[in-house]
Structure 1
Amino acid sequence: MAGDELSDHPDEPTLRALFDTVIPVDDWPGGWEGGVGRLLREHGSDFMSWSATALANAAEAADRAANDSHRRPFAALAAAEQSAVFASLLEREGAAGPMHDVTTVAYQGFYGGTREPAGWQMVGYSAIPEGVDAVDAADPPGIDAERLADSYDVIVIGAGAGGGAVAAELAEGGQHVLLIDRAQPMRNSELRGNHLQGKRTGLYDVRVGPHAGNPRVIEHSDGTAELLHGEGDALAYGLNAMVLGGGTRVWQGMSWRFWEQDFRMASTYGTPVDSTLADWPFDYAELEQYYERAEWELGVAGDADSAVGRATPRRRGYPLPAMRSDRTREALTAAGRRLGITTSPIPFAINSVSRDGRAACVRCAQCIGHACPVNAKNGAQNTFIPRALATGRADLLLGAQVTSIEHDGSGTASGVVGVVEGRSGERGFRARAARIVVAAGAIETARLLLASGLGNEWVGRSHMTHGVALAIAGEAPDIKETVGPGHSVATIDFVHSDPHGWGGGVMFDAALQFPYDKAQVGRELASAPFGTVHKAWMRETPNLVGTMAMVQEIPHAQTRVLLDPVVKDQRGMPAVRLRGTAHDATRANVAAMAGHCSDWLRAAGGRRIMTRELTVAPQGQEHSAGTARLSADPAFGACDPRGLLWGTRNVFVADASLHVTNGGFNPALTVFANALRVGALMMQ
């Protein structure tokens, strides 16, 4: 049932009928013609190959049931008879699983798709607004490994937020820098319009990586271990973006400052049993100038006179005005007033007006997890990295994985070794430098340091992300517009407001859901998960409305990033083994915030509210942090206050690995700011 052979498969008439039972033909195409047939033809032999056995089983079960009840094959039945047979199979042990698989594939083909399926137009979804001329921003090509200099002042490993910012700081300060990333050059057009392989909701071989050959081992709380190969579910693997710019290439751009209390969590709340909670070795005041620089050099749109803008000391406002309001902000602001809650526009690293030769945001409906169609989204790839390259003192090496940092065993590193993919295939490379900066992301930074035999016992410990609380309304007014960035309004009233709440967190409207996500929610909210009822629900129900919170995580002593003793990646480097459990303080924090989310949503007219409490992600996510944390004492952290790895003379870290705590906010602005600080201190 794969590829071009699909049309010749004996099950095809049954499968067509099954998909058209899940999504019937009406004024709009049915499931098969609306996208499922194309999806299976184009991808049935690669990432959809999992479905072959499931769909064959479904076809067999459907024909058997139809013959038993009507003495005809399923495809020969009338539509009402097919629906009745399908409904009966959903309730039958042994047949329900294949029918659920059929439903999933139908949703993926009709509402998901790797390019625009019929379901998008049916529900009024358009990835790019009509009349917008997309630009196709491309990565700089970088240099060939054969052209590496004999030696550099600094090698920076990882070209995301931290690596891009520190590379710019060092190159502009006169240092000769080599910036290395394992991403291949990609155009923005390759990173949008594909919802089944997008970063945030991608189910298959996500375009931004990591791809097959990059396994991870996840230890679950029940003691079992799971091997992930790298080409599957983005959420299961950890939402890493292995592309130039890292996560900031496809992020939504929320850009918050941490609060003063976030830098002294242990002093404020104490250290609970089984936690590694600690204070940062410096306070907010030391980072404030770098927050200001990050906001202005990255380009953040916000309102300095709002509650968010006034929450932390600042000497300067935002460089760009806040994103314009919408129905969601207006409705939730009014609901907040009824509850006594203060709201603010969200600060985004997005051009609300044109800046630096790049256009203003066109409010496309697929901002989160996708590259910007007009290059209005500000990330390391179109701000700091071009600045570094413009100095003429920075080289960019793409498609290169550093597998080890070379050192003399007494704390002095001399360079790196790795594998680079070139036009003639893979080859090993070696680069030398006086100093090394690791900025590969919290998990990969710890992995590289451990594999290189560098650092103390704190490397890999205190891995944290955020707890997440979510409330979704099954019924709500039509207040969620089909526009980006996808979030609009926030309240910080529950940040550090409860002395027993362990920091709380920011709360904002839930993201605009893509059509496939809405279809999946409809399994629960529509009165039937298939057929005319579900299709009508998709067409007639307004965009789902929700609220969510980014909740301060209290790092658990048992949460670790380790090297697996057996599993290796395609280059022979040990894979990471991830172990994690939620601390009771995090669970309590998330539960409290879930209640606040529900209250705010109900005040906005939400009904039939479903809540979710997500308290631990051992595989990490785009907010992973803490695995090489800062400390003034090597007994309590992996790096000194400058970012220098304890036990070394010239190895620094400049990404979220340094975070001692991760705040109740998205941490990217803090990553940028602290990387600028690390770079500035390295120049002294």
Structure 2
Amino acid sequence: MSPANPLDEATWERLGTLMDQVIPPDEYPSASQAGGVGFLASLLAERPDWIERLQAVAREATASEHWDWFAEMVAGGYYADPANGGNAGAASWRMVGWQAEPLGGWPDPVPAAEAARTIVHPRDLESRYDAIVIGSGAGGGVAACGLAEAGRRVLVVEAGQWPSIDELHRDHLRNPRSDWGLAPLSGPTDAEHVRVLENGQIVTPLDGSWNNNAFTAGGGTRVYGAQAWRFSPLDFRMASTYGVPEGSALKDWPISYEDLEPYYERAEWEIGVSGGPHDGRWAGPRARELPMPALSSGSRRERLAQAAESLGFGTVPVPLLINSRPYLGRRACSQCNLCIGFSCPDDAKNGSQNTMLTRAFATGRAQIVLGTRASQLLTDVHGRVVGATLVGEVDGVVWRRDIHAAEIVVSAGAVESARLLLNSRSDREPDGIGNNNDLVGRHLQGHVYGGALGLFEDVVEDLIGPGPSIATTDYRHHNGDIVGGGIIADEFVATPANTYWYLVSAGFIPRTGPASKEGMRRYVRRSLRLMGPVQEMTSAESRVRVDENVRDPFGVPVARFSGSIHPEDLRARDFTSRTSGTWLRAAGAVNVAEFGGARKGPSGGQHQAGTLRMGSDPSNSVVDEYGRVWGHENLRIMDGSVHVTNGGVNPVLTIFATALRSVEQMTGGSQ
């Protein structure tokens, strides 16, 4: 034994035998033959807490309480990318007929300088800037661009790093849309930045209830699926349309679709969206079509389109922030099968990091500091915001500096933006900036998803990425007594490792043994998933607080969650799942599993929103219609936390649009 290999040879030999019960040999390698022992050994430096689990499995085999976990980890390595060590020669990919590369082969690599960037080392920070933007995702990128192009000297503060395309492109198990217990490479990658659940349980970023969004330059837009839906007119008028369900805090927005339409158009053209001429039923009017046609699609789209027609509902292409042709100096998508949760090898997925931030840096007036957090906003004796305290760690040494600015934009995501305001106290606002009415952190929402998984007799996965090619928008509104609704679309091409988890969870294949291996061989390309987010009924009790007794490595109180989703959300989810199942059966599925089950805790995750709600009255909102925190002319919020409701679609285009509207007002239209 050694620190690098803490289990003895006999234990590894026993584990090798047991993993071959999970994936036995046939004409393709068993788990141990494919490198499974080396794969598990490589994980222990990252997850030393798994040592005892493996020892228990070696002693007790299938009787161990950890057997199911062991089986899933072995399978994860076997079906994941070869670089993880458990899939030697990509044998399992050949077995199931899956490939990562596009049908035309990989394109030439994008040059190493993927985007112009101006990174400043913490030691070189100036004491004052015209503006500080906290967070570099969708809203932060727009803010940095708009302010820099208007002549401001801007510092962007990013908690994560700026990994290369290659670093974020290939690892199937450290993908933020996977759940293998390993830290996502898009961050946070350490277990010290914890959060607390309502019952006092401390969770790390490895736990789904942490409600992760990427911590990296570009934020979630670096690795998102990039669905680019507009909210519909009724999405801004949910309370007026449906009333307010009991126990909900459902409310209308202070702005309308018409107010936001010009900024939707700007986002589509300035960032880059491909898709069809309209968003289908319930969509608002648009003054201009999208700048790029929809990505090409294959046989599964035609199958689903014919099935939808037979059922009598309409379909549209899925709008994507992905180039279907060269656009604004960036390549077209080569349609590989590694999209959601991965960076784009073509740099054709349009996120903050390669669009708005690039423009900001091109002015020469914007810088970004990485690996840095804002621990609190600074105020003067009158309670006016004058800057931020920044903290970070360089070469194992924690540093802390107060940086002043005339204007502050907070774009850290709904959880961290609320946490920052709650941790920023003054005599004028002892419970946190903007929180004198106890509203900061309330109305946390994300998206509950409905959907279904279908199995087919013939091959239906055509391996034409990214995957989403067809959606119905008919069910966004007025679905009987359901409040709201949402879209339903075909899903991204799944990695084989994730497909294993989907098939096991649905009960379609066993977790272990020859039948599991044969099931993967048969169903990886004979299965389809349809999914869609639903409108959530916001609740004042679904919220983010800070926990004074639990602090991060810099001594800052961490976020604490409380509350739960509303019963109406589960009804809408189940409606979406039933409709998805009906669509799959009409398309020829011979077996269908509709998603359901109980849900605990509040909703958040990558679509987190609502904690700093927009309104027209400071007594019932945190910010005005331009994202200004009430009582603070120079403090604005530009992210999903200002959303009053979060739509029955992916919200990122609305984050881009509201930020464009806010920064235009902030700069006097001089952008």
Same fold (TM over 0.5): yes
| Correspondences of 1:513-592 after superposition (within 5 Å) | 513-523=494-504, 525-526=507-508, 528-541=510-523, 542-592=525-575
- Give the Å deviation of 1:384: 0.1
Q: Secondary structure at the match of 1:430?
A: strand
AA aligned to 2:69 is D
- Deviation track 1:196-251 (CA, whole Å, cap 9, x = no partner) reads 111110431111112222100122xxxx3321133x24x33213100000000001
| Correspondences of 1:64-463 after superposition (within 5 Å) | 89=62, 95=63, 97-113=65-81, 115=83, 117=87, 118=90, 119-129=92-102, 130-135=105-110, 136=112, 138=114, 140=117, 142-202=119-179, 203-210=181-188, 211-219=190-198, 224-230=199-205, 232-233=206-207, 235-305=208-278, 307=280, 311-408=283-380, 410-422=382-394, 425-452=397-424, 453-456=432-435, 457-463=438-444
Matched residues in 1 for 2:256 and 2:83: separation? 47
Matched residues in 2 for 1:679 and 1:251: separation? 23
Question: 2:427 — aligned with what?
Answer: none
- Give the Å deviation of 1:289: 0.6
CA contact (8 A) 1:6 1:12 kept: no
- Give the Å deviation of 1:42: 2.1
Question: 2:486 — aligned with what?
Answer: 505
Compute the RMSD of aligned alpha carbons. Answer: 2.1
AA aligned to 2:193 is N
AA aligned to 1:313 is P
Question: 1:646 — aligned with what?
Answer: 630
Matched residues in 2 for 1:633 and 1:522: separation? 49
AA aligned to 1:406 is L
- Give the Å deviation of 1:138: 4.7
CA contact (8 A) 1:2 1:40 kept: no
Q: Which of these residues, 671, 677, 683, is aligned with residue 655 of structure 2?
A: 671
- Give the Å deviation of 1:650: 1.7
Deviates more, 1:598-607 or 1:651-660: 598-607
Matched residues in 1 for 2:397 and 2:94: separation? 42
Q: Secondary structure at the match of 1:315?
A: coil
Q: Secondary structure at the match of 2:595?
A: strand
Matched residues in 1 for 2:600 and 2:486: separation? 16
**Paired positions, count:** 645
- Deviation track 1:593-626 (CA, whole Å, cap 9, x = no partner) reads 2221111111111132111137665261110001
Question: 1:483 — aligned with what?
Answer: 464
Q: Mark the runs of 5 or more structure 2 residues left unpaired by the alignment.
A: 425-431
Question: 2:605 — aligned with what?
Answer: 621
Residues 515 and 593 (structure 1), Cα distance of their counterparts in 2 relative to 1, 3 Å cut: same
CA contact (8 A) 1:578 1:619 kept: no
Question: 1:609 — aligned with what?
Answer: 592
Residues 465 and 5 (structure 1), Cα distance of their counterparts in 2 relative to 1, 3 Å cut: closer
- Give the Å deviation of 1:500: 2.8
Q: Secondary structure at the match of 2:241?
A: helix
CA contact (8 A) 1:125 1:365 kept: no
Matched residues in 2 for 1:245 and 1:131: separation? 24
- Deviation track 1:258-298 (CA, whole Å, cap 9, x = no partner) reads 01111111111111222111111111111111000000011
Q: Secondary structure at the match of 1:431?
A: strand
- Deviation track 1:503-537 (CA, whole Å, cap 9, x = no partner) reads 11111113332211222234354564322221122
CA contact (8 A) 2:446 2:608 kept: yes
- Give the Å deviation of 1:627: 0.5
Question: 2:640 — aligned with what?
Answer: 656
Matched residues in 1 for 2:396 and 2:553: separation? 18
- Deviation track 1:428-454 (CA, whole Å, cap 9, x = no partner) reads 122111111100000000000000020
CA contact (8 A) 2:137 2:218 kept: yes
- Deviation track 1:461-507 (CA, whole Å, cap 9, x = no partner) reads 11111121021124454222223212221000111133632111111
CA contact (8 A) 1:237 1:619 kept: no
AA aligned to 1:32 is S
Matched residues in 2 for 1:37 and 1:493: separation? 50
Matched residues in 2 for 1:530 and 1:665: separation? 36
Residues 141 and 167 (structure 1), Cα distance of their counterparts in 2 relative to 1, 3 Å cut: closer
Q: Secondary structure at the match of 2:579?
A: helix
Q: Secondary structure at the match of 2:409?
A: strand
Deviates more, 1:170-179 or 1:508-517: 508-517
Matched residues in 1 for 2:292 and 2:655: separation? 20
Matched residues in 1 for 2:600 and 2:570: separation? 9
AA aligned to 1:170 is L
Q: Secondary structure at the match of 2:309?
A: helix
Matched residues in 2 for 1:521 and 1:506: separation? 21
- Deviation track 1:354-393 (CA, whole Å, cap 9, x = no partner) reads 1222211111111000101111100000000010111112
CA contact (8 A) 1:476 1:545 kept: no
- Give the Å deviation of 1:114: 7.2
- Give the Å deviation of 1:58: 2.2
- Give the Å deviation of 1:187: 0.7
CA contact (8 A) 1:368 1:486 kept: no
Matched residues in 1 for 2:664 and 2:13: separation? 66
Residues 344 and 643 (structure 1), Cα distance of their counterparts in 2 relative to 1, 3 Å cut: same
- Deviation track 1:406-429 (CA, whole Å, cap 9, x = no partner) reads 012644111111213346843112
Matched residues in 2 for 1:2 and 1:205: separation? 24
Matched residues in 2 for 1:596 and 1:502: separation? 16
- Give the Å deviation of 1:458: 1.3
Matched residues in 1 for 2:562 and 2:442: separation? 10
- Give the Å deviation of 1:581: 1.1
**2:37 pairs with 1:56:** no
CA contact (8 A) 2:339 2:492 kept: no
CA contact (8 A) 2:564 2:603 kept: no
- Give the Å deviation of 1:565: 2.5
Q: Secondary structure at the match of 1:428?
A: strand
CA contact (8 A) 2:118 2:366 kept: no
**TM-score, with structure 2 as normaliser:** 0.92
AA aligned to 2:183 is D
Matched residues in 1 for 2:510 and 2:148: separation? 59
Q: Secondary structure at the match of 2:607?
A: coil
Matched residues in 2 for 1:572 and 1:283: separation? 41
Matched residues in 2 for 1:477 and 1:169: separation? 51
CA contact (8 A) 2:451 2:488 kept: no
**TM-score, with structure 1 as normaliser:** 0.90
Q: Secondary structure at the match of 1:576?
A: strand
- Deviation track 1:567-606 (CA, whole Å, cap 9, x = no partner) reads 1001111000011312122222222222211111111111
Q: Secondary structure at the match of 1:665?
A: coil
- Give the Å deviation of 1:33: 2.7
Matched residues in 2 for 1:158 and 1:623: separation? 16
Matched residues in 1 for 2:456 and 2:113: separation? 40
